[in-house]
Every structure is written in structure tokens, then in C-alpha cells.
Amino acid sequence: MAETTNIIAFQGLEGAYSHLSCRHVFPNMRAIACETFAEAMFMVERGDAKLAMIPLENSTAGRVEEMYRLMPSTHLHIIGEHFEPINHCLLALKGAQLSDIKTVTSHPQALAQCDQHIHELGLEPIAGYDTAGLACEIAQGSDKSRAAIASSLAAELYDLTILRENFQDVTGNTTRFLILSKDAGLPDFDASVPFITSLMFTVRNIPAALYKALGGFATNGINMVKLESYMGSGVPKGSSFHLDVEGHPSEQLMQYALKELAFFTQEMRIMGTYVAHPFRLTNQRVLEQ
């Protein structure tokens, strides 16, 4: 259907941080909420949505484990990335005061990112499945002793009051999202543009296999910016990894490195090549100061 070209899928209810990211990156697309990550991704595979906005990792709470189980089972491609600054808000019913609050609920990662402030206020944390969904649940009730940790967008959509903004423990808390598409969409190489290439691979079951597989990137001067292990499907006969490197497959040195990687792996799949998000350059400059 023609209208699916203007649909982007995300996991969670309206008001989730993924929804906020969809608004920021694709303000003219219709964002559709899905109950699970798998549902959002399979919407794209079925052609019911053009794109999916999926979180991969958070600078405070670490990686989203489920994504490493799902990605190998799909045929989607990574066509972009987005870094969303996370402003956790402590939300409650209209008229509630901070002194009224006894419990706070949110997704386990959000609770982890606000752990210090939760304990300082003496609140009982209660883990749930979805930040926006739990905010909606509180809005539908009448208990002023309950609070939720969610986005300012959730407060707006569900008519809740914001008791505290920037409730996260660490300044600069950021979530990295991947933008997934059914089409590969390999961008043309431009030497003036920084690219990221994402791969998944399973090394051969031999001594020092990972060391040998990654050696080509070192000898060809290609910077690796992320390496994560994950459990592949079936009986493991070799370790599986997600790898992000700086570079484009059209570059000759990258081709040399990929050839060496392929030699020491059972399976290798390029998930996508895309323009590096400006956050990477900004963050690097901050670290260098």
C-alpha cells in the first residue's frame, strides 16, 4: 500500500523515547506504536511500514540485549543511526506533590538510569515493561502516591504533571537508535563524509579466531568503534559478534579488512553502511578537550 511509505514503527506506546526519536528524525512520517521490538521490525519486513526506529544501547544502562537476539533473524538493513539525549521526568497525577510519592515505576533500564535519585527520595522502584505505558497506567488511575519515569512527551500526551525533570543520575545520558529498512540503501561513497559500517559475524572455532578476524582492521588503519558478543541460534560452534567500524565498503582498505574478516569467520553479514551521526563528532571533541 502506498501509505506505508510514510510509516515508521517503534516499540512502546505513544510517548515512549522511541516515539520521541521518530518525531525528531522523521517529523513528517506517521509513527506507529508496536507492543514488541519484533513486531516493529516485522512490520517493516512485511511491508506494512517503511522504517523502524529501534534502540540498541544506552550510555548509562548499556546495551538492549533483545536486539542482539532479533537482528540475526531478520533481513532488515541499518540505513541510519540516531543519538537521542534522554531527559527522564518524574511524572505523577495532576495535583500530586513530591511528598505524596511512595512508589515509582518504569522500564528496568530507566529505573537503573535514575537509581541514585530514586533512593535519595526513598521511593520504592517497581519495574514494568514500558515507560510510556506505565505513565498511561498512572494517568488512568487515581493514586497520587504513584509516580512514573518517562518522557516529557508522555506527560503531554497523558496529561500528567512533571515533578522533576532531568531525573537521570548521569548528565549526558543518551540512547543510540538504529533506523531499519527492508531496502539496503547503500549511500554513495564520499571521502568528506564519515561513515559507519555495521557487521555481524561468527568466528571459526579455532584458537585466537577473534584476534585473527579483527587483525585486518588494525593493519589497514580502520577504527573499530563497537564490538559486542551475542549468543547465536542453535548449538554454538563459534562466538558471534556485532561490530561497528568507521568506513565505507567502497574503500580499498576496507575491502582488504573485510576479506580477512571473512576468511576467519563461518558467517559474515554487512548489516548496513550509513552516515555517522553528528553526535559522534561532538562527543569526540568533548573527550579530546
> Who's near 81: CB < 8 A, 6+ residues apart?
176, 177, 178, 179, 196, 274, 276, 277
DSSP, collapsed to helix, strand or coil, labels residue 79 as strand
User: Which one is catalytic: 37, 177, 201, 264?
Assistant: 177
The total of other beta-carbon atoms located within 10 Å of residue 78's CB is: 23
Amino acid 242 reads: H
Angle at 60 between CA 109 and CA 118, to 5 degrees: 60
What is the chain's alpha carbon radius of gyration, rounded to the nearest angstrom?
A: 21
Strands (E), the chain: 7-11, 30-34, 51-58, 62-63, 77-85, 89-92, 103-106, 124-127, 146-150, 161-164, 174-181, 195-203, 224-230, 240-246, 265-275
Q: Is residue 282 flagged as an active site residue?
A: no
User: Which one is catalytic: 60, 105, 131, 175?
Assistant: 175
Beta strand 146-150 with 51-58 is: unpaired
The residue with cell 559507519 is 196
15: left (phi over 0), alpha (psi -120 to 50) or beta: left
**221 contacts 246 by C-beta, under 8 angstroms:** no
Q: Is residue 177 flagged as an active site residue?
A: yes
The total of other beta-carbon atoms located within 10 Å of residue 251's CB is: 17
246 by Cβ neighbours in 10 Å (0-12 / 13-18 / 19+) ranks as: middle
The residues annotated as belonging to the active site are: 175, 177
